[in-house]
Structure 1
């Protein structure tokens, strides 16, 4: 698993070996699938396909060429995926598949999980209900944007800002 901050540029490595020396041709495919899918049969979506020996690649429709590319040294077994300006929706499962003509030995597919981190936006804190003696209220605190989702807690303080351990206190702060 890889964790990177939003808006950064990253490299997801893919290394491979072959029993065919020297390889005459090969194809490398980078794909992705949502990690939150509960159905393991959800297909991978192809990002790009690299062709050796002409060292060219096709980028699938819907993928921005300014954001997605590949860094390949086929003879050295390197096929890294480059993603620029990470977005939250880039958090997903990625797969690198290598096919080399006349090489059917070994593992030709590997997957990894990418998690894009985003700092929480300023918390929005609300009181639901009427804050009067004897009335129940609900204190709510959330950030409109963050990954992973932050955990907030409420603490009560007296007028001298001393922490109160009694949850029935009126004054509260969200952290």
Structure 2
């Protein structure tokens, strides 16, 4: 019994000693957040129980879905100081490793939504392969919401049910939505009563609409990065509303009067044009006749003078 206790104590001592001497890789941040298009720097540290003569440090990434495959990004070899970057990351990755100080840094530039993954830093040192040789962190890529697009589903007629839709194509984290209506009486936006409307995501459902439903509606789309809005002006048609036939008759009468007036104006204008043309022609004829008469008178006087002169001779 005493021998068994001694063996158990010795085993615990070896386990503790092994834990103290084992390598330990650590990443201080559980998540790194970065805006799409910016650069991200991931840093891992490690402690070894020996002075490394040889070390291999690598960074890899895997998607957040269960079936996603791990992809190797870059590997650094010590003491050769050689760094191999995979072609898919060749233009965007920089790795700096200081083995003696126990640091390894990965820098990703121009990050995209596809870079939103879990990243692993792994350190292999021959002779010190016990303990925790790898650590992981999550890179969260945030993207502002794009300007939402508002729309109407259904017939905008009294008594109908319709949906107002609102959707932002882009945004990470995914956008949240809220609909509001502008109230002229109070000069502000107000949210809706639950018994007349329902909201599900970016869809606002309006039931048994009427003329009172008409107005200006705003949709707000937002995430932690940005807020953006769009609007819809709703004008509800009154189906078989009283007075619609009267309004149609009055409109037709007004159109008929307008047409008759236009015809009369055109007739007067034509008559005036014809009168003006006749007057001009008469004036021209009178002028021509007067000129001819003058010429005849001049010719007659000339003849008399000539004849008179002949008699005198």
TM-score (norm 1): 0.90
How many matched pairs?
170
Q: Please list, as runs of the form range in 1=range in 2, the aligned pairs for 1:58-97 lying within 5 A after superposition.
A: 58-63=84-89, 65-97=90-122
8 Å Cα contact 1:120-1:145 kept in structure 2: yes
Q: Counterparts in 2 of 1:112-131, with a 5 A limit?
A: 112-131=137-156
Alpha-carbon distance, 1:27 to partner: 0.4
SS of equivalent residue, structure 1 residue 14: strand
Q: What is the correspondence of 1:24-173 to structure 2 with a 5 Å cutoff? A: 24-35=53-64, 37-39=65-67, 42-63=68-89, 65-160=90-185, 161-162=187-188, 163=190, 165-166=192-193, 167=197, 169-171=213-215, 172-173=217-218
How far apart in 2 are the matches of 1:26 and 1:140? Answer: 57
1:38 is displaced (CA, Å) by: 2.6
RMSD value, Cα? 1.6
Q: CA offsets per residue over residues 120-174 of structure 1, 9 Å max, x none? A: 1111111111222211111211111111111011112323444264345443211
Pick which of 90-99 and 129-138 moved more.
129-138
Matched position secondary structure for 2:73: strand
Secondary structure at the counterpart of residue 89 of structure 1 = helix
Unaligned residue ranges in structure 1 (runs of 5+): none
2:48 is aligned with 1:18: yes
Higher RCO (Cα < 8 Å, 6 or more apart): 1
Larger Rg: 2
What are the Cα deviations for residues 24-54 of structure 1, in whole angstroms up to 9, with x where unaligned?
A: 001011100111x134xx4311001110001
Where does structure 2 lack aligned partners over 5 or more consecutive residues?
1-30, 198-205, 207-212, 221-313
Distance 1:71 1:118, change over 3 A: same
* TM-score normalised by the chain length of structure 2: 0.52
Q: Is the 8 A contact 2:63 2:69 kept in 1?
A: no
Q: Distance in 1 between the 2:112 and 2:191 partners?
A: 41
